[in-house]
A and B are shown apart, each in its own frame.
Chain A
Amino acid sequence: MSEPSPRPLIALAGNPNTGKTTLFNHLTGARARVGNYPGVTVERRVATMSLAPGQPADLVDIPGTYSIVGRSAEEQIAIRELTGLGGGRRPDLVVLCVDATNLVRNLYLALQLQELGVNLVVALTMMDEARGILPEPQLLGAALQCSIAPVVARTGEGVPALVELMKDRLATPDPAPRWRWTPSPGLRAAMDRVRDAAPAAWPKDDALALWALMSVTDVDELQGVPPEVRAAVLGGGPSGEAIDEEVITARYRWLDEHIAPALRGPPERSLTDRVDAVLIHPVFGFVVFLGIMFVVFQSLFAWADPAITLIEDLFGAIGGVVATSLPEGILNDLLVNGVIGGMGSVVVFLPQILLLFFMLGLLEDSGYMARVAYLMDRVMRLMNLNGRAFVPMLSGFACAIPAVMATRTMERQRDRLLTMMVVPLMTCSARLPVYTLMIGALFPPDRLWGVLPVQGLLMVFMYLFSVVMALTAAWVLSRTVLKAPNVPLVLELPPYRAPRLRDVLRMMTSRASMFLREAGTVILGFTILLWALLSFPKDVPFTQDYEAKLAAATTEEQVAELSAERDGELLRGSYGGRLGYALEPVIRPLGFDWKIGVGLIGAFAAREVFVSTMGVVYGVGGDVDEESVTLRERMRSELRDDGRPVYTPLVGVSLMAFFALACQCMSTLAVVKRETGGWRWPAFLFVYMTSLAWTVSFVIYQGGRLLGFGG
């Protein structure tokens, strides 16, 4: 972002919920280039806009903010983008979105920008809602001493005039700082001290000195603040609290005196009042909430299914065509099972991602997400998270991939990380085939006390277990690895507004394409690696001469049986098979033998692959599903070297606990890598979940044996 560009750089800033993203889409139209701010999991969106034919400019969308000060790394983004501090380029123009229905609060940020002396244009959004209460924009412009363009971002009304104004301000910049208040002598002295302490690379500027006085503390997370500035801020003078109060009160006093009296009445909020009377009602509020969350969950869990099946069938068919049209051999196998299969396992996530982001977009843009946070805060606080974590956690019951991506709806980096670290513990739908297989094979279809079905109870127990473990993990992680200064919840409840479908769709497709591009390539790579592990070497010493026997086979059944047995021997002799063998000492204390080890390696592609891998390992073929009677019987009859059965109910419970807790999913790791911008967090996720799984399975198996449950 530091490379020089001949195009003007324009920054779009504003409070959250001001229609900033809609305006961004209106101004740019084309696809945005999305990247991450270094060090924080916040997106940086840049797009090209056209000021006039042949006159392009870069527009950067600064994340919504109420203020330029703040002690966290993500709150620092605004000041960096606005001033170019920290290696960036200072924008040639800043367009500030100001919600016309909430003028005073929104203009607080305008005063900060004017103190900084940025070249400013104010876009007065939500004009359709504010007509009748607003003073004339010209009067407002005169009071604020800056250019103002009223727009309706939703319809695009006023946008051409805004672009004209932006062009004018670029041609004749007005970067003179404007201060609406006079600092007290004590504050003045502190500002002078901080300003004069700044090294050469740091602008000697009053507004920046004030930013430092209000942002730098001994517990902040700010990056790149020169030590001289830091020392000057912390070196005495008025207390931070006193400075905050003096500055903020002075700015609001000016706004109260010069802007508030010109308003012609309070904004119209009767619609929001009427809707809220239901949506945050103690009874109806929760009924509606549960209904909406049911729709979100059901769509991921069930409604995405036809599309998922279609994608699987499609890639299966493509694989089939390729398999038959190419000569048999390694290349054929690589293309069909590695590349096409791998692409299929990436694309298969799209239905859930698209659906979830469609619904997140509606919830967010309508203003309901803030109500979810309001309603659920009490519950989510148990995990040291705020209410916004609810939807990602809920989505985790369907699939961790879209759920991890949905953590973007949370403001704080630490909250996003914490949610990402516990969402993969939720019972996702890929665990169900494994549970079904184990429960069906090892537990009788009996009823407890004649009424409660044992198998069903176990399934319910697995869900409860995952919730308890996720809660516990969140509680522990938030007090250890992800310990952060407590930031109290301050939530804005914006007025309800109809979401704009085009913005929702744009966000949805941008997320999906980002997933394909960035997480997809990692998943594809993993798939090919796993394929190679489980397919090589090819020259496994067979126990019988399959070729001769296959040639002599007379019935189709014989052929199928022989090929299944041969595939089993191939898999057991592959690198993956040998790895499973090598793994045995590690997993034996959990009650697993090396064949289960091979299944665990196969399941890293996706948990449900465990079922078909076990089918191949046991030589009953890879076409089995979790309901397969053959596979269940084969499992029940599988014996250890000493003649005891491998699978006892205790081993079943141990294995299910392992699947509940282990990070047996390369796609989750790939998407966490994408969201956090590095391998550090996915590595931590893998290590902590797998250690947790091992420990819990160990306790279950060894404890069960001590208690005499056999095994």
Chain B
Amino acid sequence: MAELAQSDEIPLASLSSGTTALLTRVGGDRAFRRRVMELGLVPGSAVQKRQTAPLGDPIELEVRGCRLSIRRAEAEVVWVKA
């Protein structure tokens, strides 16, 4: 999968805390990608970046009313449109 950013997309990792954005695509390893999509992070969903863990990793998200946490490295390949 091409991980090149399209013009108005940013990685979820770069979203500032407390902001909600529209998920555009999920990249990364197939097992990761399938797992997060099955947890509701499918393209077109609204996703909020809630905060970063005190030690800087992982980050906490909210999607469909459910709180999830993924590592920063993986959040670099989850793309959102602000």
Within 8 A of A (CB), among B57-76: 57-58, 60, 64-71, 73-74
Q: A104-B40, A244-B33 in contact; A266/B53 too (CB < 8 A)?
A: no
Expressed in whole angstroms, the minimum distance between the Cβ of B59 and any Cβ of chain A is 10
Within 8 A of A (CB), among B12-48: 26, 28-40, 42-45
Check B4 for interface membership: any CB of A closer than 8 A: no
Asked if residues A241 and B1 are in contact (CB atoms below 8 Å), the reply is: yes
Asked if residues B39 and A66 are in contact (CB atoms below 8 Å), the reply is: yes
Asked if residues B67 and A493 are in contact (CB atoms below 8 Å), the reply is: yes
Q: Interface with B: A116-124, A134-142, A424-432, A484-492, which one?
A: A484-492
Expressed in whole angstroms, the minimum distance between the Cβ of B66 and any Cβ of chain A is 5
Whole-angstrom distance between the alpha carbons of A248 and B41 in the complex?
Answer: 10
Whole-angstrom distance between the alpha carbons of A280 and B69 in the complex?
Answer: 12
Chain A residues in 8 Å Cβ range of B67: 272, 492-495
Chain B residues in 8 Å Cβ range of A240: 30
Q: Interface with B: A323-331, A374-382, A462-470, which one?
A: A374-382
Check A282 for interface membership: any CB of B closer than 8 A: yes
Asked if residues B66 and A492 are in contact (CB atoms below 8 Å), the reply is: yes
Whole-angstrom distance between the alpha carbons of A500 and B46 in the complex?
Answer: 34
Asked if residues B53 and A105 are in contact (CB atoms below 8 Å), the reply is: no
Asked if residues A244 and B34 are in contact (CB atoms below 8 Å), the reply is: yes
Chain A residues in 8 Å Cβ range of B29: 486, 488
Q: A280-B53, A488-B71 in contact; A377/B58 too (CB < 8 A)?
A: yes
Asked if residues A69 and B39 are in contact (CB atoms below 8 Å), the reply is: no
Expressed in whole angstroms, the minimum distance between the Cβ of B41 and any Cβ of chain A is 9
| A276-288 interface bits toward B, Cβ cutoff 8 Å, 1 = contact, 0 = none | 0000111001100
Whole-angstrom distance between the alpha carbons of A252 and B1 in the complex?
Answer: 22
Chain B residues in 8 Å Cβ range of A379: 55
Whole-angstrom distance between the alpha carbons of A102 and B71 in the complex?
Answer: 23
Q: A244-B30, A375-B55, A377-B57 in contact; A490/B66 too (CB < 8 A)?
A: no
Within 8 A of B (CB), among A498-520: none
Whole-angstrom distance between the alpha carbons of A188 and B36 in the complex?
Answer: 24
Q: How many chain-A residues does the 8 Å CB contact rule pick out?
A: 47
Asked if residues B55 and A69 are in contact (CB atoms below 8 Å), the reply is: no
Q: How many chain-B residues does the 8 Å CB contact rule pick out?
A: 37
Chain A residues in 8 Å Cβ range of B43: 245, 249
Asked if residues A266 and B65 are in contact (CB atoms below 8 Å), the reply is: yes
Check A690 for interface membership: any CB of B closer than 8 A: no
Chain A residues in 8 Å Cβ range of B28: 488
| A260-276 interface bits toward B, Cβ cutoff 8 Å, 1 = contact, 0 = none | 00000011010010000
Asked if residues A248 and B70 are in contact (CB atoms below 8 Å), the reply is: no
Check A71 for interface membership: any CB of B closer than 8 A: yes
Asked if residues B38 and A491 are in contact (CB atoms below 8 Å), the reply is: no
Asked if residues A378 and B37 are in contact (CB atoms below 8 Å), the reply is: no
Q: A285-B54, A486-B29 in contact; A104/B64 too (CB < 8 A)?
A: yes
| A239-259 interface bits toward B, Cβ cutoff 8 Å, 1 = contact, 0 = none | 011001100110010000000
Whole-angstrom distance between the alpha carbons of A492 and B58 in the complex?
Answer: 12
Tell me which of B42, B54, B65 contacts A280 (CB under 8 A): B54
Expressed in whole angstroms, the minimum distance between the Cβ of B35 and any Cβ of chain A is 5
Check A217 for interface membership: any CB of B closer than 8 A: yes
Check A536 for interface membership: any CB of B closer than 8 A: no
Tell me which of A108, A377, A378 contacts B40 (CB under 8 A): A108
Q: A102-B66, A266-B65 in contact; A108/B38 too (CB < 8 A)?
A: yes
Tell me which of A241, A266, A374, A487 contacts B60 (CB under 8 A): A374
Whole-angstrom distance between the alpha carbons of A485 and B29 in the complex?
Answer: 10
Check A27 for interface membership: any CB of B closer than 8 A: no
Asked if residues A485 and B31 are in contact (CB atoms below 8 Å), the reply is: yes
Tell me which of A252, A286, A490 contacts B35 (CB under 8 A): A490
List the interface of chain B (C-beta within 8 A of A): 1, 26, 28-40, 42-45, 51, 53-58, 60, 64-71, 73-74
What 4 pairs across the A-B complex have the smallest Cβ distances?
A378-B55, A282-B54, A493-B67, A488-B32
Can you list 24 residue pairs at the A/B interface with Cβ under 8 Å? A67-B38, A69-B34, A69-B38, A104-B64, A105-B40, A240-B30, A241-B33, A249-B42, A249-B43, A252-B42, A252-B45, A266-B65, A269-B65, A280-B54, A373-B69, A375-B53, A377-B58, A378-B55, A488-B32, A488-B71, A488-B73, A489-B71, A490-B32, A495-B67
